[in-house]
Amino acid sequence: MGAFLTRRRGLVPYLLLAPGLLWLAVFYVYPAFQMFISSFWSGTLETGFRFSLDNWRTYPAAIERYAEQFGRSILYATAATILTFLIAYPLAYTIAFRGGRAKNLLLFLVVAPFFTSFLLRTFAWKIILGDDGIVLGPLKDLGLVEPGFRLLATPIAVVSGITYNFLPFMTLPIYVSLEKIDRRLVEAAQDLYAGPWRPGGTIVGAAVGAGLFGLLGAIFAFELPLMVGLGALGGAVVGTGFLSESFARVTFPLSLPGVFAGTLLVMIPAIGDYVNATLLGNPNTSMIGNVIQQRFLVNNDYPTASALSFILMAAILVVVTIYARLLGTENASVARGL
Amino acid sequence: MAQDALAAPLAARPVGWLDRFARFFDRYLLLVYTGFAVLYLMLPVFVIALFSVNDPIGRSNVAWRAFTLKYWLDPFGVPGLFDAVATSLKIAFASTFVATALGTLIALALVRYQFRGAGATNLLIFIPMATPEIVMGASLLTMFVAIGRPPFFPLNELTILIAHIMFNISYVVVTVRARLVGFDRHLEEAAMDLGANEWTTFWRVTFPLILPGIIAAALLAFSLSIDDFVITNFTAGRTVTFPMYIWGAARIGIPVQVNVIGTIIFLVAVGFVALSVVLGRRRA
């Protein structure tokens, strides 16, 4: 064998690749193709399915019937992505630049929740956000919140669950991109008189805060002017304290690949999720994942379910391919492998 | 950065209250914030552990009542839970073994050789990690249904195993590749110069050096497999894994024992990480 490989060196990489890639071809690529075929099926599990191109009508019918759930998935995923970004960026920044000797410990704490069951963690939020739980209980005792107020079974609970569960997917790629920054670039900027950024930092902070909180207010249909005001105020404070010229012109631009990778890694699982909406929501918060799961596993309605998940896959594949073309796959992969 | 930014021009400028605020923000608020963020991340883990020593009335374990250790002393005291955990462990071990082998070979090919199709291979490795689990689960389900006969249909442990190997391959490739990139090829050349053939060089030099990467990949694959719910949900049929058991129980109330098992899994995983850190230090 050794002699054969020595003579045919060019073959070696392909021999190494073959078993794994074959597995992916048979159990990833082909099933996706089969799912497309199945969306043109008619019939039932009992009587057997028949393929016909005439069944293309499944697509417009499915889109029309479930447009609401598609829209909700995009809204919730967008809200969760904004929230993970707001929570993750300062966290990743502090770990990367101020972590010191605690850096590895802090990184470990970011991923530690993954060591318990995803379902149990989500269920724990049901306890935390419960009607008399540790969040609402004290607020109700103090009379700050009406006794009948609920968080569970609302969009807020579902988005909170998604935000929590996928937060590490945002934190890690941002951390990786910040960690890679050559510190001398920041020092060089400061030597070239990059100083505190005033009033620019305050203004930009207020604008970004107002925009992001306003978007959240619009998504939840919750007190838009109040949200914009709160966002502007919070953003102004953070902008004044945090945004310096060297951050705005060196650190942040260099961390953008991490932000994009994190956005991709949070957005994708969030759009297809049905666990959070099932455990923390109610029928009025059901997402497209809930529909696909229900159609496949409860109703055995394979054609509609296949059409819906094919639409989901196609849309995400387009986004992922554009992302991979523009920014490469390294940032997102590195963060997933940590 | 605000602190660094202040350092240079400070001498020339009077320190105003805004500067003091920026310095305060940078020195203290960021750290305080990070403390709260970590608490937020760990809060559900704490709740899971807390409710493993709760003594609820009936099946609904969502309100704190009284402390008890009785469920820790009898962690498999509800029907089906032991079998579910055993099934999960079996699938996790098997899928980790196969996916680690297949993924390591791909990583070796990608890092060590230049060949046509490397770009396409990279994309094929990346795309499963960027596909929603529900799509992978659903498409495997349609394939198994289309085949329509054993061993794929009715769905069983084998179909879960196939799915877990599939999604784990990419993670193994990415993890092993990350460790292989910094690998010093001169070590292999030295071995060859000293008369070792390629086979011996691989097993005596290359493999021991990349072993930590392979172990890290295997641990990741194992933890992804044992906790996978969505893809398993679509490929399990009547087979019950640990996450499937939780899902089934969630509607009528999750037994306290599930919290005990969840806490044990967490502690074991943390123990493994601590062990690898200690061993890594000793090696260094």
Q: Do B28 and B125 belong to one domain?
A: no
What is the per-residue pLDDT for B113?
Answer: 85
Report phi then psi at B89, rounded to 5. -65, -45
Q: Total domain count for chain B?
A: 2
Q: Do B245 and B151 belong to one domain?
A: yes
Q: Which CATH fold would you assign to the domain A71-195+244-337?
A: MetI-like fold (1.10.3720)
Token pair 């194992």 in the structure block, residue? B222
Q: Which of A71, A72, A73 is nearest to A273 (CA)?
A: A73
Question: What one-letter code names the amino acid at B139?
Answer: S
Is there a contact between B48 and A246 if contact means CB atoms under 8 Å apart?
Answer: no
Which residues of chain A make contact with B277, given a CB cutoff of 8 A? 104
What is the per-residue pLDDT for A335?
Answer: 67
The bridge status of strand A41-44 relative to strand A48-51 is antiparallel
Check if the beta carbon of residue B42 is closer than 8 Å to that of residue A113.
yes
Residue B182 has pLDDT above 90, yes or no: no
Query: Is residue B182 domain-resident?
Result: yes
Is there a contact between B103 and A20 if contact means CB atoms under 8 Å apart?
Answer: yes
Q: Could you say which of B30, B127, B175 has the minimum Cβ distance to residue A320?
A: B127
Say which CATH number the domain at B200 has: 1.10.3720.10
Q: In angstroms, what separates the C-alpha of B236 from chain A's closest C-alpha?
A: 11
Q: Which of B144, B210, B228, B103 is nearest to A23 (CA)?
A: B103
What is the per-residue pLDDT for B244?
Answer: 97
Report phi then psi at A51, rounded to 5. -90, 135
Give, in degrees to the nearest 5, the angle at Cα A325 between A323 and A327.
60
Q: Which residue of A has its CA nearest to B99?
A: A20
Q: Could you say which of B29, B47, B113 has the minimum Cβ distance to residue A127?
A: B47
Mean pLDDT of B165-182: 90
What is the per-residue pLDDT for B2?
Answer: 47
Token reading at B158: 């084998």
d(CA A281, CA B164): 28
What is the per-residue pLDDT for A135?
Answer: 87
Query: Is residue B212 domain-resident?
Result: yes
**Domain ranges, residue B95:** 81-254
Tell me what percent of the residues of chain B surpass a pLDDT of 90.
61
Q: Going by C-beta distance under 8 Å and a sequence separation of 6 or more, which residues neighbour residue B189? A: none
What is the per-residue pLDDT for B35?
Answer: 95
ipTM of this complex: 0.90
* pLDDT tens-digit profile, chain A (338 residues): 455 556 667 888 999 999 999 999 999 999 999 999 999 999 888 888 889 998 999 999 999 999 999 999 999 999 999 999 999 999 999 999 998 889 989 999 999 999 999 999 999 999 999 988 888 888 888 888 888 888 899 999 999 999 999 999 999 999 999 999 998 998 898 888 888 888 888 999 999 999 999 988 888 877 889 999 999 999 999 888 888 888 988 999 999 999 999 999 999 999 999 999 999 999 999 999 999 999 999 999 999 999 999 999 999 999 998 888 888 887 787 666 54
Other C-beta atoms lying within 10 Å of the C-beta of residue B115: 15
Which residues of chain A make contact with B105, given a CB cutoff of 8 A? 16-17, 19-20
Which residues of chain A make contact with B258, given a CB cutoff of 8 A? 120
Residue B280 has pLDDT above 80, yes or no: no
pLDDT digits over B125-155, tens only?
999 998 999 999 999 999 999 998 899 999 9
What is the per-residue pLDDT for B10?
Answer: 47
Q: Do B8 and B114 belong to one domain?
A: no
d(CA B210, CA B199): 15
Q: Do B208 and B85 belong to one domain?
A: yes
What is the per-residue pLDDT for B192?
Answer: 87
Query: Is residue B238 domain-resident?
Result: yes
Q: Do B114 and B39 belong to one domain?
A: no
Q: Going by C-beta distance under 8 Å and a sequence separation of 6 or more, which residues neighbour residue A78? A: A215, A219, A267
Query: Is residue B72 domain-resident?
Result: no
Q: Do B186 and B238 belong to one domain?
A: yes
Q: Going by C-beta distance under 8 Å and a sequence separation of 6 or more, which residues neighbour residue B142? A: A31, A34, A35, A37, A38, A302, A306
Residue A185 touches chain B, beta carbons under 8 Å: no
Q: Do B95 and B169 belong to one domain?
A: yes
Q: Do B36 and B142 belong to one domain?
A: no
d(CA B230, CA B239): 14
| b/e burial code for range B55-75 (CB count within 10 A of at least 16 → b) | ebeeeebbebeeeeeebeeeb
**CA-CA-CA-CA torsion sign (A70, A71, A77, A80):** negative
Query: Is residue B156 domain-resident?
Result: yes
Q: In angstroms, what separates the C-alpha of A218 from chain B's closest C-alpha?
A: 25
Residue A24 touches chain B, beta carbons under 8 Å: yes
Which residues of chain B make contact with A336, given a CB cutoff of 8 A? 129, 171, 174
Q: Which residue of A has its CA nearest to B24?
A: A241
Give the global pTM: 0.91
Q: Which residue of B has its CA nearest to A89?
A: B34
Q: Could you say which of B106, B143, B227 has the minimum Cβ distance to residue A21?
A: B106
Query: Is residue B121 domain-resident?
Result: yes
pLDDT: which is higher, A215 or B228: B228
Q: Do B34 and B90 belong to one domain?
A: no
What is the per-residue pLDDT for B14?
Answer: 62
* Chain centroid to CA B136: 18
Which residues of chain B make contact with A129, given a CB cutoff of 8 A? none
What is the per-residue pLDDT for A6?
Answer: 60
What is the per-residue pLDDT for A219?
Answer: 81
pLDDT: which is higher, B195 or B104: B104
Enumerate long-range contacts of A68-75, CB under 8 Å, 24 or more apart.
Answer: A69/A286, A69/A287, A69/A288, A69/A290, A69/A291, A70/A288, A70/A311, A72/A285, A72/A286, A72/A287, A72/A288, A73/A270, A73/A271, A73/A272, A73/A287, A73/A288, A73/A289, A74/A271, A75/A219
Is there a contact between A193 and B9 if contact means CB atoms under 8 Å apart?
Answer: yes
Query: Is residue B59 domain-resident?
Result: no
Q: Do B212 and B114 belong to one domain?
A: yes
Task: List Cα–Cα distances, B112 to A16, B115, B130, B182, B188, in angstroms.
Answer: 11, 10, 25, 11, 12
Q: Going by C-beta distance under 8 Å and a sequence separation of 6 or more, which residues neighbour residue B206? A: B188
What is the per-residue pLDDT for B80?
Answer: 94
Q: Could you say which of A29, A35, A167 has the minimum Cβ distance to residue B142?
A: A35
What is the per-residue pLDDT for B131?
Answer: 93
pLDDT: which is higher, B252 or B42: B42
Q: Residue A113 gets which letter from DSSP?
A: G
Query: Is residue B267 domain-resident?
Result: no
